[in-house]
Amino acid sequence: MGERQNGPFQLCFSTSLKVDFQGSRVTSDGGLILVRELDERLGFGDLVAQHLTDSRRGKNTQLPLADLLRQSVYSRIAGYEDVNDAERVSQDPTFRLIGSEKTWDRGAALTSRLQTFETEMPAEEDNFRSLALINRELIAKAEAIDTPQRIVLDMDSTEIPVYGQQENSAYNGHFESTCYHPLLLFSREGDCLAAKLRPGNVHSADDWEELLLPEIERQQKLGKEAVFRADAAFAKPEIYEALEERGVKYAIRIAANDNLERDIAGLLTRPVGRPSHKAVVRYTSFLYQAASWKTAQRVVAKVEFHSGELFPRVGFIVTNLEADSRAVVRFYNKRGTAEQWIKEGKQAVKMTRLSCHRFRSNEVRLWLSLIAYNLGNLWRRLVLPKRIDNWSLTSLQQRLVKTGGRLIKHARYYWLLLAESHLTRRLFEAMLGKIIALPLPAG
């Protein structure tokens, strides 16, 4: 039975227990406060102010542009994949606190305001280009803190299925679906450096130069050595030539053919004797020139014989690396982490949620998801203690972001009281200490 209107509920099974609903004071996403502290340390708000132009006038400017962008990005970090969720999270204490202080009492943006923001302001030509700049410069601030001398670049494409009549969606025979087919460029650390949303029926390697060449130029200006890895879709002579001209090392898988297998015929004979339960692996390298290549290239071959399999597994990699064949294969195989980064982007920050009709609006939504992904990845690699720095973004979301808490307002301060579960006081203190210890990035 309820006691009085808007009062707590008294339950029959225990007279000592009362239940009340105070949603505007209780949060389920308290861990986002740490991400907000990291974004402040990296100067994310300054990047927004520097690159995005606010074309709104009058009462439409009540919520600052940075607040709207943060709400869009942080919603994705917390796993809210659609602007419809804004109706619920607008009064969530954490989402109020991550914005400017004027939103702390009033609340964050509702669905209509956030939807207008995502489909209009960032879609303006100058602002759209600025999303890529904000993303890359945010990563650059982290690179200034901690980056190796050798930069490994991994390029891959992926499928984003669509349902409806979205602009530029098309059937892709490889994926056997109607989809978009974005191209993504990652660093070895998992940062998404560049991206482009493309129609579903383009080749996997289309527009590679638009993403790859500027990044190589950027790294070389900083005195870094760039190395490139990609799968067989990028085994194109124009890519080899462009990389060779710029002095970039590469390892790119190449599809098997009769000529390649003829060059390693001696390795394809099954070992004599009783088959081993352990795989028998052979390596070799040789010069090979396809009809469309201007010069011969080094090709590394790996042949594996597995127990119970009739034919060997054969793989070829075209490369200009000078390492031995086994080392080249080992280096190339680490490219699989790029597929893991894409999987995390799809699962954790819902970058597949491109449900707008207009292609430009879907491009904006992809960039918002990638900025969310990169903020999460920077949290992982710059802030997490060693014992948990291998957690996936999904694990971070479920174990750290999803922390319950209660907001209490006093005369001079707000108190956010967090529940202690996966995010303990000791872990919170350790991460906060690492954020504070980060050197302030230049600019």
Of 47-56, 76-85, 98-107, 376-385, the one with minimum mean pLDDT is 98-107
Rounded Cα distance between 293 and 285, Å, is 18
Tell me the β-bridge partners of 440: none
CA 139 centroid distance within chain? 12
Q: Give the confidence band of 213 by pLDDT, cuts at 50, 70, 90.
A: very high
Structural Rg of the chain based on CA atoms: 26
Query: Among candidates 365, 427, 359, which has minimal Cα distance to 131?
Result: 365
Which residues have C-beta within 8 Å of that of residue 354, sequence separation ≥ 6?
A: 160, 162, 166, 180, 197, 362, 365, 366
Q: Is residue 212 part of a domain?
A: no
Per-residue model confidence (pLDDT) at position 89: 83
> Sign of the CA dihedral 384, 190, 31, 17?
negative
pLDDT band for position 24 (cuts 50, 70, 90): low
In this structure, the answer to whether residues 37 and 102 fall within a common structural domain is yes
CA dist., res. 318 & res. 240, Å (int)? 9
pLDDT, tens only, 319-343: 999 999 999 999 999 998 889 999 9
Q: How many CA atoms lie within 13 A of 361 on its CB side?
A: 16
Could you tell me the CA-to-CA distances from 241 to 236, 320, 335, 354 in Å, in that order? Answer: 9, 11, 21, 35
Give the number of domains in the chain: 2
Q: How many CA atoms lie within 13 A of 83 on its CB side?
A: 20
* pLDDT in the model for residue 347: 92
Q: Are residues 36 and 111 in the same domain?
A: yes
Cβ(134)–Cβ(127) below 8 Å = no
Give a yes or no: residue 28 inside a domain: yes
Is 149 among the domain residues?
no
Structural domain including 277 reads 232-334
Question: What is the four-CA torsion angle of 14, 18, 23, 25, rounded to 10 degrees?
Answer: -130
pLDDT above 70 covers a percentage of the chain that reads: 95
Checking if the pLDDT of 318 tops 90, the result is yes
State which H helix or E strand residue 190 sits in: none
Least confident of 98-107, 137-146, 186-195, 199-208: 98-107
Number of H helices, E strands in the chain: 16, 16
The DSSP secondary-structure symbol of 235 reads -
CA-nearest of 125, 193, 155, 213 to 373 is: 193
Which segment of 22-36, 96-110, 195-209, 359-373 scores lowest on mean pLDDT?
A: 96-110
Considering the domain architecture, whether residues 85 and 37 belong to the same structural domain is answered as yes
| Paired sense of beta strands 26-27 and 177-180, if any | unpaired
pLDDT of 4 above 60: no
Q: Which H helix or E strand runs over 421? A: none
Asked if residue 1 has pLDDT above 50, the reply is no
Instruction: Name 187's bridge partners.
Output: 153
pLDDT at residue 227 above 60?
yes
Per-residue pLDDT reduced to its tens digit, 265-311: 989 888 777 777 888 899 999 999 999 899 999 999 999 998 888 88
Residues 330 and 366 both lie in one domain: no
The share of the chain scoring above pLDDT 90, in percent, equals 66
191 in Cβ contact with 374 (< 8 Å): yes
Which amino acid is it at 78? A
Side-chain half-sphere exposure of 334, counting CA atoms within 13 A:
15
Mean confidence (pLDDT) of the chain: 89
380-412, pLDDT tens digit by residue? 999 999 999 999 999 999 999 999 998 888 778
Question: How confident is the model over 69-81, as pLDDT tens digits?
Answer: 999 999 999 999 8
Task: Identify whether the C-beta of residue 228 lies closer than 8 Å to the C-beta of residue 249.
Answer: yes
Residue 184 near residue 340, CB atoms below 8 Å: no
Residue 197: pLDDT over 80: yes
Residue 251 lies in a domain: yes
State residue 200's pLDDT score: 93
Residue 18 lies in a domain: no
**In this predicted model, which residue has the larger pLDDT, 368 or 86?**
368
171 in any annotated domain? no
Same domain? For 313 and 400 the reply is: no
Query: Measured between alpha carbons, how far is 229 from 141 in angstroms, rounded to an integer?
Result: 24
Specify whether 65 is located in the same domain as 105.
yes
Instruction: Tell me the pLDDT band of 14, cut-offs 50, 70 and 90.
Output: low
Query: Is there a single domain that holds both residue 237 and residue 314?
Result: yes
209 in any annotated domain: no
pLDDT at 22: 63
- What is the 3-state composition of the chain as percent helix, strand, coil, each rounded to the nearest 5? 45, 20, 35
> What pLDDT, on the 0 to 100 scale, is given for residue 271?
78
Residue 9: band (very low, low, confident or very high) from pLDDT cuts 50, 70, 90 = confident
- Can you give the pLDDT at residue 3? 42
Say how far apart CA 187 and CA 154 lie, in whole Å: 6
Across-strand partners of 155? 185
SS3 of residue 38 by DSSP: helix
pLDDT digits (tens, 9 = 90+) for 129-166: 999 999 999 999 999 887 789 999 999 999 999 988 89
Residue 23 in this model has a pLDDT that exceeds 70: no
Q: Kindly report which listed range (123-127, 175-179, 180-184, 274-278) carries the lowest average pLDDT score.
A: 274-278
* Statement to judge: residues 308 and 386 lie in one domain: no
DSSP, residue by residue, 147-201: --SEEEEEEEE--EE--S--TT-EEETTTTEEEE--EEEEETTS-EEEEE--BTT
Phi, psi angles (nearest 5°) of residue 14: -150, 115
- The answer to whether residue 178 is domain-embedded is no
3-state secondary structure of 199: strand
- pLDDT of 220 reads 96
pLDDT at 60 over 70: no
pLDDT tens for 25-43 read 889 999 999 999 999 999 9
Q: Above 90 in pLDDT, residue 13? A: no
